């Protein structure tokens, strides 16, 4: 139940960002720094989410089958595979590595 509250708040804040763009005077958001921070934060957050999901379990770090999934996804992306194919490559690699015993 608790998660619902944060989830709905996240939805409200996401919509707030979107609406703000349409109503705030353009000169504020036209400050190139604001636009740059939005961009670099997107890169930083996605990089962070990638490594957290690869090596972290709670507060501990481990190199398990997920590292193989990361490598497989990188190869698929290098070959310009579409999003869904990249995701499937990651899943299959992790599942296969577990099957042969790499946790």
Partner 1 sequence: MKLLASPAVRVGLSISIATGLYGISFGALSVTSGLSFWQTIALSLLLFSGGSQFAFIGVVAGGGSGVAAMGAATLLGMRNGIYGMQLNALLHPKGWRRYVAAQLTIDESTATSTGQSDPAEQQRGFWAAGIGIYVLWNLFTAVGALAGSGLGDPKQWGLDGAAVAAFLALLWPRLKGREPVAIAVVCALATVLVVPFVPAGVPILVAAVVAALAGWFSHGRSDEGLEPDVDPYAEHHHRRQDSQQAGA
Quick check: helix, strand or coil at residue 30? coil
Residue 26 near partner 1 by CB under 8 A: yes
* Interface characters, 28-47, with partner 1 (x: CB under 8 A): -xx-xxxxxxxxxxxxxxxx
Which residue from 63, 79, 91, 102 is in contact with partner 1, where contact means CB under 8 A? 91
Quick check: helix, strand or coil at residue 63? coil
Residue 52 near partner 1 by CB under 8 A: yes
For residue 26, give the DSSP letter.
Answer: H
Residue 6 near partner 1 by CB under 8 A: yes
Q: Please report how close the Cβ of residue 26 comes to partner 1 at its closest, in angstroms.
A: 6
Residue 75 near partner 1 by CB under 8 A: no
d(CA 85, CA 39): 26
Radius of gyration of the chain (CA): 19
d(CA 60, CA 65): 15
Q: Please report how close the Cβ of residue 101 comes to partner 1 at its closest, in angstroms.
A: 13
Residue 100 near partner 1 by CB under 8 A: no
| Shorter beta-carbon distance to partner 1: residue 83 or 101 | 83
Sole residue written with tokens 């504020």: 28
């Amino acid at each position: 139940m608790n998660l619902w509250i944060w989830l709905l708040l996240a939805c409200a804040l996401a919509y707030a960002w979107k609406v703000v763009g349409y109503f705030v005077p353009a000169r504020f958001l036209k400050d190139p720094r604001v636009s740059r921070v939005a961009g670099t934060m997107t890169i930083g957050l996605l990089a962070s989410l990638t490594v957290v999901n690869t090596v972290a379990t709670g507060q501990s770090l481990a190199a398990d089958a997920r590292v193989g999934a990361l490598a497989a996804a990188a190869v698929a992306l290098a070959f310009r595979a579409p999003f869904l194919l990249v995701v499937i490559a990651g899943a299959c690699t992790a599942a296969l590595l577990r099957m042969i015993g790499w946790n």
